[in-house]
Amino acid sequence: MNDGPRTPPGTDVPTTAAAPVPGPVADRHPVRLPDWFRDAQTEKPLDRRDRLRVWLANRDRKVVATVTIGLSVLLLVTAGWMVSRVNALPRAAEPEPTTTVVPTSAVGSTGRKVDYFAGTPAAAYLPGAAGITTPPARAEGPFTAAQVRDALATVQQALTEGRLDRSMASGDIEPFVALFAPAAQPEIRADFTSDVFLNYATRIVTGADRPRDGTRAKGRLTYRATRGTDGVRVLEITTNVTWVYAFEVVEPAGGAGLVAVRDEVVWHVPHPADVPAPSRGLWLVSARAVPNNVDCAELKRGFLDVAHPLDLHLPDQKAQADAVYDPEQPLPTAAAC
């Protein structure tokens, strides 16, 4: 049976046992508070960011926006001032712009800088009429030195108008025709109704792409006093010239874009005492020309253009190339076209 709680022997049992009272919670689980919280006399100083945050919190949005804009403007003004100061610093002297004119023909259709005459005999030719050698004017037979000089100047102008001038190339023949004696002009105009004029004049096919570095030439003028078939005293001037025209092509190397025309022309200037006024002046007696690397189909129409790579006449033209480019060689007796 259970008579109550038992106490181990030798244990004194108090007559009245009071229940232990638990200590305060704070004593069992102490919490460490920061010094500034426990010490009312100590204050934490605010830094600049804290002061700005408190200041902004006490202002409305309009004030904040105004300050923000003001700061932005201030930054922009400061940046502009710094840039102006940098630009004001002394700089190294820049080179003067070059005055060298690079012809547009120096750039080919592929955009690369090219020389259309490189690697060909025409590389040594001079531009235009500058490549034609003219002997000094001197008295010849019944012709005075002044008459010879005037006759040579007229022939030189006829060469320029016929082979180099843009008006002739585009189809305007009148500046060329006007150089002849009035009585000779109808016959010259008649030549342009066929392809006869190709022996002494050049017309370029419409739309042909030509570089602008001009035509090059090489040749000479010679003269002598003689008589015509009718016994009239004449100053006979012979021109032997190779003209080289450049056309834009994709691959211009080796003269692929060059058309050469070599001509031999005989001109007469009758003595003014032997003929009436309408016959005084320049006459064209004979002319013959041989082209090279030319479009034969266009040539038969009276126009000059560069040959197509598949032109059937191209091998024949290449065989005559040396004689066409060298005025010292005999002119070929037959044209390749």
DSSP 106: G
Concatenate the DSSP letters of all residues of 124-145 into one string.
GPEEGGGGEE-PPP--BTTB-H
Q: Which two tokens mark 43? A: 């204050």
Q: Select from 249, 269, 267, 268 the least CA-distant residue to 259.
A: 249
Residue 317 near residue 292 (C-beta atoms within 8 A)? yes
Residues 78, 206: Cα–Cα separation, whole Å: 63
**Where are the strands (E) in 113-209, listed by range?**
126-127, 132-133
Name the 3-class secondary structure at 188. Answer: helix
pLDDT at position 25, please? 38
Whether this prediction's pTM lies above 0.85 is answered by no
**Structural contact between residues 261 and 241, judged by C-beta atoms closer than 8 angstroms:** no
Local confidence pLDDT in tens for the 337 residues of the chain? 444 444 344 444 444 444 444 444 334 334 343 443 344 444 455 565 555 565 555 555 555 556 566 666 566 656 665 655 545 544 444 334 333 333 334 444 445 567 889 999 999 999 999 999 999 999 999 999 999 999 999 999 999 999 999 899 889 999 999 999 999 999 999 999 999 999 999 999 877 666 656 799 999 999 999 999 899 999 999 999 999 999 988 888 889 999 999 999 999 999 999 999 999 999 999 999 999 999 999 999 999 999 988 788 889 999 999 999 999 999 988 778 8
